[in-house]
A = this chain, B = another copy of it.
Amino acid sequence: MLRRARIVSGAFCVWVFGSACASSPPPAATEPPQPGPVVVTSPSATPAAPPVPVEAPDKLTADPLPSWKDGATKQSILGFVARVTTAGDPGFVPTPERIATFDNDGTLWSEQPIYIQLAFVLDRVKELAPAHPEWKTKEPFKAVLAGDLRAALAGGEKAMLELVAATHAGMTTEDFEQTVLRWFSTAKHPKYGRLYTECVYQPMLEVLTLLRANGFKTFIVSGGGIDFMRPVTERLYGIPPEQVVGTTGKLRFELRDGRPVIVREPAILFVNDREGKPVGIQNHIGRRPIAAFGNSDGDQQMLEWTAGGAGSRLVLLVHHTDGEREVAYDRTSPIGKLDKALDEAKTKGWLVASMKDDWKTIFPPGNTAVPPTPKAAPAPPASPPLAIAPR
């Protein structure tokens, strides 16, 4: 199993740990926002009317994207939805083919300063430590327990696999689901001071709702662990488990005292990142999406695959341009690096949504939207964004 996992562990390393596995880049710089046109290969050039939400006819006059500032990006999204849902329009798409795929980390929820799944790994190591006294002196656990992620990752693939095995494997799928749910019920983001489940992007929630109201099936297509996301995606995004595509661990069915269980093994079956995303889409969905949303180079191939089909297409990159309300990062970020895909967006005319300029709000209301005071916040990390702040 380890041998098989090793084959894909480079990509897996990127999945949980970002490019931090490899090097420590300079602080992230931010590009100016690059809103662009909707990619529509159909000959329709008629200005589009706002789409009619099929599930909420009483809201005909309401703005379906209230958290989006008026502008080219918002109008391009609304225009696309209008075209694909207007019978007789050259851009019309039959309902069964209205497939939209969304990256998760950095597109639907926060991914800075570290992936939420990595925060889970680190917390789990601390939670399990009392039952593993040997971890006090054994790397990479010793470094994790000391809050030194950089040292933990110095052990490379072997260290990474040990951390994943200790936190994601060796239990049934049902036990893992409960573990994940328990963690999400209390774990908070170090900067925003709100639950991780509240670190989702309100404007993207509105896009999800708009698309579904217009007959789309919405899918998550993420490099993150499929069974780490599923326990919360229905509540957070309205996306049921069967519409989540992600990196998949090896599983084993067995009977334990006559009771059937599925056990999580310490090996990876499929890495759903970069070139893996179109493959994961084919394996799980079996249709090419007509709309895809991402935020990093890990999404580039998914966007290429989506844009490459015939007929109406909507391809959008979320650009993290807002250093005040969120985090500004792109070409040099160790997590969520957006470089080649940003270049391709320019040449291909993909939409680029600037969080600073296109979004009125970042997170949903009704929570502690104000960042915690420095005292309440974790101690400044020694070498951001890799140090582990105790929660």
Contacts and interface: CB of A to CB of B under 8 A. Distances in A.
Interface string A219-251: 100000011001000100000111110001001
Contacts of A254: 275
A254 B276 CA distance: 10
A284 interface: yes
Contacts of A283: 226, 248, 251, 269
Interface residues of A, number: 40
A252 B276 CA distance: 8
A129 interface: no
Given A241-B286, A260-B305, A253 B275 contact: yes
A278 interface: yes
A253 B301 contact: yes
Interface string A261-287: 010000001100001111100111111
Contact of A96 (B99, B240, B251, B282): B240
A285 B99 CA distance: 17
Contacts of A259: 308
A282 B234 contact: no
Contact of A242 (B173, B226, B286): B286
A277 B283 CA distance: 15
A322 interface: no
Nearest to A244: B286
Contact of A262 (B226, B260, B278, B284): B278
A124 interface: no
A211 to B, nearest CB: 15
A242 B285 contact: yes
A67 to B, nearest CB: 27
Nearest to A255: B304
Interface of A: 96, 99, 173, 217, 219, 226-227, 230, 234, 240-244, 248, 251-255, 259-260, 262, 269-270, 275-279, 282-287, 301, 304-305, 308
